[in-house]
Amino acid sequence: MKSPENLARRNLWNAGTRVKSAELFYFRGEWASVIRECQEALDFTFKSLLHGLGLEITRFQNPGEVFLKERHRLPSVLTADWVRVERIVGPSGASGADLSASFGGSDFMTFGEESFSAPQPEGPSIETAQSALSDARYMLELARTACRHIHGIQGKSS
């Protein structure tokens, strides 16, 4: 079994690669992909922090929500701007953004000989993608700082 420190390090690395992937999608103008990658980056970031604290989570738990519940165990670097952290984890932040629009396609229903196309939802905007990327970068840097503080885990800074 892997140690919490190794799990934290691995998740921190995964978060960094997801942020880099989101940046590539951003430069290609693929806003939905930016948001999906940022959500993944945030999940890895929160998992890294939780493992850094020695906490295990199941795959059915939302790492952001578990992270919020463990505020009392977090180093002060993570709680300094708690309002922003709560916004990022909450339903309006990058962690909870609604991506249903990005999974559109040619949904249709057929009744007899007639088919009816479902209206295609509008995709995410550049502003939503920018916000998600900013949030993911912010949390990744906080996690790197916190992991250095907790275990001396060195992660590359962007």
Instruction: Provide the CA 97 distance to its chain's centre, in angstroms.
Output: 10
Average pLDDT, stretch 27-38?
96
Whether the pTM exceeds 0.95: the reply is no
pLDDT of residue 37: 97
Q: Please tell me the distance from the alpha carbon of residue 56 to that of residue 53, in angstroms, as a whole number.
A: 9
pLDDT in tens, 47-88: 999 988 888 888 888 898 898 898 888 888 888 899 999 999
In 3D space, the residue among 89, 83, 73 whose CA is nearest the CA of residue 146 turns out to be 73
Helix (H) or strand (E) holding 151: helix 126-151
Write 50-58 long-range contacts (CB < 8 A, 24+). Answer: 51/4, 51/5, 51/7, 51/8, 51/11, 52/4, 52/5, 52/8, 52/146, 52/147, 52/150, 52/151, 52/153, 53/4, 53/150, 54/4
All domains of the chain, ordered by start, with CATH?
4-99+123-151 (1.20.120.330)
pLDDT in tens, 89-115: 877 555 555 444 444 434 444 555 665
pLDDT of residue 75: 82
